[in-house]
Amino acid sequence: MDHFPTNWGRPRNEAVDLYNTYPLHLRPDNGTYGRPKDSFEEGVQRTRQPIVTGTSVLAIKFKDGVIVAADNLASYGSLARFKDIQRLHAVGTHTVIGAGGDMSDFQHIQHDLDSLIISEFSEGDGHALGPAEIYEYLSQVMYARRSKMNPLWNSILVGGWKDGKSFLGYVDLIGTTYSASTLATGYGAYIAQPLLRKAVEGRENELTEEEAVKIVEESLKVLFYRDARSLNKYQIAIVNEKGVSISDSRIAPTEWSFAEGIRGYGAQTQ
Amino acid sequence: MSPTVGPVSRDFNPYSDNGGTILAIAGEDFAVVAGDTRQSEGYNIQTRYAPKVFRLTDKAVLAVNGFAADGNMFVKKVKQRLEWYRHAHGKDMQLRAIARMIQTMLYAKRFFPYYVYNILGGIEEDGSGAVYSFDPVGSYEREACRAAGAAQSLVQPFLDNQIYFKNQTPAIDAPFPRHLPLSHVLSIVTDSFTSATERHIEVGDGLEIYIILAKGKTLSGLGLDGVKGLSEVTSTVDDSDGSASEGESLAEGERIFVLRRELKKD
């Protein structure tokens, strides 16, 4: 039992000393290098590895908007555990985020951003957070958590539209950030990104919404054929002048008859 | 007494290496700071445009290379400290003071370092061009030139040879010059990056060269008139069309220009 009340997570500020334990700096467990600041520290758990995980997220820019897409699967290791999880989330009116990695960490981020939007709305000052502000906030949260060695285990894409300009950004569990006209997380970075770049780079201001959707759907299908932790059920979010719209789940038709003829895959015995 | 916490093993690695290369060369009355714009992780190119070189004041430019998240945070904090200094003293911090501040800020995180190599370039109080280079925990020195990052081992020997004239013997009656002209320095910089792009997979996509000129110096005076892709970024000049309008500038002190070049994208 720790008999020092100020070590129970109370303010360690000389101005606030509810239990009259001043001088604070002489207290046994405060300010001494290597000792816990919080006597319940041993009971605190951190995300050491992701548990229920989402796989790739894809995003591209097109003529008058951005598109972000992710499938509906949340895996538990190699088990396809939840097949109706939404990995896209609208933040405010003109921003959408999509996440791979630990789904409970992602749901925590959703709560965090929702409270942020509510408190900003409550200011009633006529300002709203756009994609750039939400991305900056999220990046700082992710970097701060990694610096406490207590990361939010996700790779996140932020897509948005404001003042006639599209926005796309990436941020991950160690706080790495970057922007580009095509983005892909996880397995998508290896498989989908080359396809997206070939289709989009240099044509960001020509692609129509229909073409963009087609490019993304094709890439998702390739991912489904190659990524064992993916699903052919997915959602697509589009952000444009009108705001965010996240589609209902769609199922991609797939073709497996070719598998029959592959040695070691189908029915052959020898 | 509460029990002390023993060592806890964690598989979380808070660092990454995002590749790229930076380079700076000091001249007699100018400094040049350059970096490629590729950001990568392993064999993946994350983006083709993520700047590594930043204007701090009208006489100081900072290049950061290593772990990009740390680099961006570090630049953010340096800029914040410079703004505070400006509010407190009504002037920009001198280059050598910025250098010492950077060493202090890096060493402050000695036991959880910013995984970044910094190169600071600019104009000293006496009007001379200067380059300061740092290691991740704050060791620093003033030099005439320095390369850092993924292709440091390719570029630095080239600079030693071309800037310091190492392993060269001067012709009789023609000693090596103490300072190189700007146009010559710029061609050494572009050649360094095109060569590094050829031989290093983490270097490429784009090149940004910042040129800092001492008070009273002009581009035409340094033999750099009408160069394409050159734009002025001095804070007192709001040249929104991006073209360097020599002579029309309102700047009285040091001036900064950016020169952008494409590099191979494969």
Segment (H or E) for B103: helix B95-107
Residue B230 tokens read as: 């050159």
For residue B50, give the nearest of A39, A174, A178 by CB distance: A178
Asked if residue B39 belongs to a domain, the reply is yes
Interval A18-72: pLDDT, tens:
665 555 555 555 544 445 566 676 777 777 789 999 999 999 999 999 999 999 9
Distance between CA atoms of A101 and A105, rounded to whole angstroms?
8
Average pLDDT in the A112-116 region?
97
Average pLDDT in the B213-229 region?
86
pTM here is 0.87
C-alpha distance from B66 to closest chain A C-alpha (Å): 12
Asked if residue B12 belongs to a domain, the reply is no
The dihedral built from the CA positions of residue B93, B98, B100 and B104, taken in this order, carries a sign that is: positive
For residue B69, give the nearest of A2, A49, A143 by CB distance: A143
Which pLDDT score is estimated for A140? 98
Asked if residue B21 belongs to a domain, the reply is no
For residue A41, give the nearest of B5, B41, B68 by CB distance: B5
Q: Chain B contacts of A143, Cβ < 8 Å?
A: 69, 73
Residue A148 tokens read as: 């406490």
Put simply, the chain B residues between 47 and 66 with a CB less than 8 A from any chain A CB are 47-50
Interval B58-107: pLDDT, tens:
999 999 999 999 999 999 999 999 999 999 999 999 999 999 999 999 99
Q: Do A170 and B46 touch (CB under 8 A)?
A: yes
Spell out the residues 6+ positions from residue B23 whose beta carbon is closer than 8 angstroms to its own.
B33, B34, B35, B63, B119, B145, B146, B147, B148, B155, B159, B189, B192, B193
Average pLDDT in the A205-220 region?
98
Which pLDDT score is estimated for B160? 97
Q: How many residues does this entry show for chain B?
A: 266
Average pLDDT in the A166-179 region?
98
C-alpha distance from B51 to closest chain A C-alpha (Å): 10
Which pLDDT score is estimated for B102? 98
Put simply, the chain A residues between 181 and 200 with a CB less than 8 A from any chain B CB are 189-190, 193
In the predicted model, is pLDDT for residue B3 greater than 90? no
In the predicted model, is pLDDT for residue A201 greater than 90? yes
Interval B143-175: pLDDT, tens:
999 999 999 999 999 999 999 999 999 999 999
Asked if residue B24 belongs to a domain, the reply is no
Distance between CA atoms of A234 and A7, rounded to whole angstroms?
48
Is A179's Cβ below 8 Å from some Cβ in B?
A: yes
Is B72's Cβ below 8 Å from some Cβ in A?
A: yes
Residue B188 main-chain phi, psi, to 5 deg? -65, -40
Which chain A residue is nearest to residue B15, measuring alpha carbons? A174
In the predicted model, is pLDDT for residue A81 greater than 70? yes
Share of chain B above pLDDT 70, in %: 91
- In which residue are the tokens 């073409």 written? A211
Q: What is the ipTM of this complex?
A: 0.90
Residue B123 belongs to a domain with what CATH number? 3.60.20.10
Active site residues of A: 47
Q: Which domains does chain A have, with CATH numbers?
A: 1-45 (no CATH), 52-251 (3.60.20.10)
Q: What's the mean pLDDT when you consider all of chain B? A: 92
Asked if residue B9 belongs to a domain, the reply is no
Q: Do B47 and A178 touch (CB under 8 A)?
A: yes
Q: Do B5 and A42 touch (CB under 8 A)?
A: yes
Is A147's Cβ below 8 Å from some Cβ in B?
A: yes
- Residue B35 burial (10 A CB sphere; 0-12, 13-18, 19+): buried
Is A144's Cβ below 8 Å from some Cβ in B?
A: no
Residue A102 tokens read as: 């630990």
Is A137's Cβ below 8 Å from some Cβ in B?
A: no
Asked if residue B61 belongs to a domain, the reply is yes
Share of chain A above pLDDT 90, in %: 76
Please list the alpha-helical segments (H only) found in chain B.
68-89, 95-107, 152-162, 182-199
For residue B14, give the nearest of A2, A42, A149 by CB distance: A149
Q: Do A179 and B16 touch (CB under 8 A)?
A: no
Is A170's Cβ below 8 Å from some Cβ in B?
A: yes
Asked if residue B182 belongs to a domain, the reply is yes
Is B227's Cβ below 8 Å from some Cβ in A?
A: no
Asked if residue B222 belongs to a domain, the reply is yes
Total domains present in chain B: 1
Q: Do A146 and B14 touch (CB under 8 A)?
A: yes
In the predicted model, is pLDDT for residue A191 greater than 70? yes
In the predicted model, is pLDDT for residue B9 greater than 50? no
Instruction: Report the SS3 class of residue B206.
Output: strand
Least confident of A116-125, A237-246, B17-26, B243-252: B243-252
pLDDT band at B236 (very low <50, low <70, confident <90, very high): confident
Is B111's Cβ below 8 Å from some Cβ in A?
A: no
> How many residue pairs bridge chain A and chain B with CB atoms within 8 Å of each other?
63
Report cis status (omega within 30 of 0) of the bond before A253: no
Put simply, the chain A residues between 74 and 133 with a CB less than 8 A from any chain B CB are none
Distance between CA atoms of B250 and B46, rounded to whole angstroms?
39
The vertex-B64 CA angle with B59 and B68, nearest 5°, equals 145
Q: Chain B contacts of A192, Cβ < 8 Å?
A: none
Q: Do B2 and A29 touch (CB under 8 A)?
A: yes
Average pLDDT in the B126-142 region?
98
For residue B5, give the nearest of A2, A36, A178 by CB distance: A36
List the one residue out of A9, A69, A111 whose CA is nearest residue A246.
A69
List the domain range (segments joined by +) for residue B120: 35-232+252-263
C-alpha distance from A261 to closest chain B C-alpha (Å): 33
For residue A174, give the nearest of B39, B48, B69 by CB distance: B69
Segment (H or E) for B62: strand B60-66
Which pLDDT score is estimated for B248? 47
Q: What's the mean pLDDT when you consider all of chain A? A: 89
Q: What is the DSSP letter of A260?
A: G
Spell out the residues 6+ positions from residue B126 whose beta carbon is closer than 8 angstroms to its own.
none
